[in-house]
Homo-oligomer: A and B are copies of this chain.
Amino acid sequence: MNIGEASGASGVSAKMIRYYEQIGLIAPKGRTESNYRVYGEEEVHVLRFIKRARSLGFSLDETETLLKLWQDKSRTSSAVKEIATTHINDLERRIAEMQGMVKTLKHLSHCCGGDHRPDCPILDDLAGESAA
């Protein structure tokens, strides 16, 4: 399987597959005489694993750890669960942060006429001149 076919089969772009190889996440099964990367079903499986982990928001670092655990038959599920829990906490922290921004912005937007006049509570807030 060429890199293009592996890309199609996994949903990971060829560009990214090469990058993952560069950072040591996954290696091709081998190379052809003309130096083309060759992949098999196993590699495609790994690429799908990576893609799924990324779609759940895991960093490539975390993904690498998960990948190693996946391939380590003597792993403990607690090790995996810990990574997931940490990640959930991180996501929830970031969600809360953004929700705070949204709350403030909605309040300011609500107070802003949104018309042809220049008066704007949003700018007043940014300028530290909020009436509140």
Name A residues whose Cβ lies closer than 8 Å to a Cβ of B: 45, 48-49, 52-53, 55-57, 66, 69-70, 73-78, 80-82, 84-85, 87-88, 91-92, 94-95, 98-99, 101-102, 104-106, 108-109, 112-120, 122-123, 125-128
Nearest CB of chain B from residue A19's CB, rounded to whole Å: 19
In the complex, residue of chain B having the shortest beta-carbon distance to the beta carbon of A73: B118
The answer to whether B81 touches A112 (Cβ under 8 A) is yes
B residues less than 8 Å from A87 (CB atoms): 105
> What is the oligomeric copy number?
2
Q: Evaluate whether A108 and B84 lie within 8 angstroms (CB atoms) in the complex, with A52-B126, A76-B118, A128-B52 already known.
A: yes
In the complex, residue of chain B having the shortest beta-carbon distance to the beta carbon of A116: B76
B residues less than 8 Å from A94 (CB atoms): 98
Give the complex CA separation of A95 and B73 in angstroms. 35
The answer to whether B125 touches A81 (Cβ under 8 A) is no
Give the complex CA separation of A70 and B129 in angstroms. 12
Give the complex CA separation of A40 and B35 in angstroms. 61
**Extra contacts besides A56-B126, A77-B115 (10): CB < 8 Å:** A48-B128, A77-B117, A77-B119, A78-B113, A78-B115, A81-B112, A84-B109, A84-B112, A84-B122, A87-B105
